[in-house]
Amino acid sequence: MRVHVMDLKPGDFLQADTFSARGLHVLPRGSRLQLEEIARLIQHGVDYVDIEELQEPPAPNIRTSMIQAVARGFDTAIEGFESVYMEALTKGSFNQSVVDDILRPSLESFDKQKDVVTLLLLLERSDNYTYTHSLQVGMLSYYIASWLGYSKQECYVIARAGYLIDIGKCRISPAILNKPGKLTPAEYEEVKLHTIYGHDIIRNSMNDSYTALAALQHHEREDGSGYPHRLTKTDIHPYAQIAAVADIYSAMTSHRVYQSKQELISVLREIHSLSFGKLSAVPVQAFIQHLMPGFIGKRVLLSTGDLGVIIMNNPVDVFRPLVQCDGQFLDLSRERNVSVIEIYME
């Protein structure tokens, strides 16, 4: 059956080899088309292709059931962190084995679910910010570490460090943490103490100085503008550098009493800019390079009010993708007045 490329759907099969107008072989016969393949056909100026008419029984939605299982695991981990947080508040320490029992099942599910963008969307919660944020930071620290080539055991330790970086907030007044307006200078100085408190609580709970350093240093910045000790590039531990990237991304994409969450791709652009002097460029580049492909195929809401689907990342401006909308393709690197304002899981 001959169809226009604009009418192709993910899952269609090519009936014949496909060539561009210049005779370039674009895709072979039998190719199963996904959004990336459809985008390639468009890039090469192919107008029509022949596809096979297949009558296949619908496959069971394994992906949906897996996502539901991951979501349940997230809820358990978030509730678990609340118990660790309260123990740290009352005792000044926590049981490391409890943390491991909470975190390990989640990390095992991360290995099975490679779509990190979907995981981030699953973790969007409007309540329990501190607990949800901790799981997000732990998860992202795990992935960044794996993308940087750390061993399996090191990835777990780094994930745990990310999970625990804000444990010191248990000693900060809830009235300050949940304040809807701008903090006073004195209140901000108190919030900054959570890094020192976290370091002390972890040292009282675990024989792991690197995890304690991640809590102490995750707000340090390479140019010396961070806190609590205004460290510079070479003095910041690599675990803290990884946790800092995860921490900022999670904070900027989460809804809090004093801040509206920002759209995921625009936050990546901002983090990229922070890699020039503030954040370590190594984990930032690994984060962006591996996360951006996960946006392909996601439904989006545009600033025009239209719904579309991201079909490819733009090599000219990776943060302004090509979006299919109402049968048309919008190159957001050219349509500068149009932007993505929301991303949906399915």
Q: How large is the average pLDDT for residues 221-234? A: 96
| 260-289 average pLDDT score | 92
- How many whole angstroms separate alpha carbon 252 and alpha carbon 76? 24
Give pLDDT, residue 154. Answer: 96
Residues 314 and 329: beta-carbon distance below 8 Å: no
DSSP output for 200-214: HHHHHH-S-HHHHHH
- Give which of 180, 186, 157 is closest to 257, Cα–Cα: 180
* Rg value, the chain, Cα: 23
What's 262's DSSP letter?
Answer: P
Of 53-67, 172-186, 199-213, 319-333, the one with minimum mean pLDDT is 53-67
Q: pLDDT at position 183, please?
A: 92
The CATH number of 2-50 is 3.90.105.10
Helix (H/G/I), strand (E/B), else coil: 302? strand
And the tokens for 45?
A: 């100026």
- Helix, strand or coil, per DSSP, at residue 323: strand
pLDDT at 61 over 80: no
Q: Which of 167, 227, 238 is nearest to 203 (CA)?
A: 167
Instruction: Give the whole-angstrom CA distance, residue 324 versus residue 305.
Output: 14
pLDDT tens figures, 135-155: 899 999 999 999 999 999 999
What per-residue confidence (pLDDT) applies to 54? Answer: 58
Do 167 and 131 contact (CB within 8 A), yes or no? Answer: no
Q: What is the pLDDT of residue 66?
A: 61
Domain at 62-292: CATH code: 1.10.3210.10
- Mean pLDDT, residues 262-283: 93
Structure tokens at 255: 């809804």
Listed by start position, the domains of the chain span 2-50, 62-292, 297-343
- Bridge partners of 220, per DSSP, are none
Give yes or no for residue 280 having a pLDDT over 90: yes
Of residues 173, 164, 163, the one with CA closest to residue 193: 173
* pLDDT, tens only, 182-197: 899 999 999 999 999 9
Mean pLDDT within 61-75: 66
H-only helix segments in the chain:
35-43, 62-91, 96-112, 116-122, 129-147, 152-164, 174-177, 185-192, 194-205, 209-217, 238-252, 264-274, 281-291
Query: Using an 8 Å Cβ cutoff, are 330 and 308 in contact?
Result: yes
Whether residue 158 has pLDDT greater than 60: yes
Q: State pTM to two decimals.
A: 0.80
State both tokens at 306.
Answer: 């239209």
pLDDT in the model for residue 64: 59
- In the three-class reduction of DSSP (H, G, I as helix; E, B as strand; rest coil), residue 52 is classed as coil
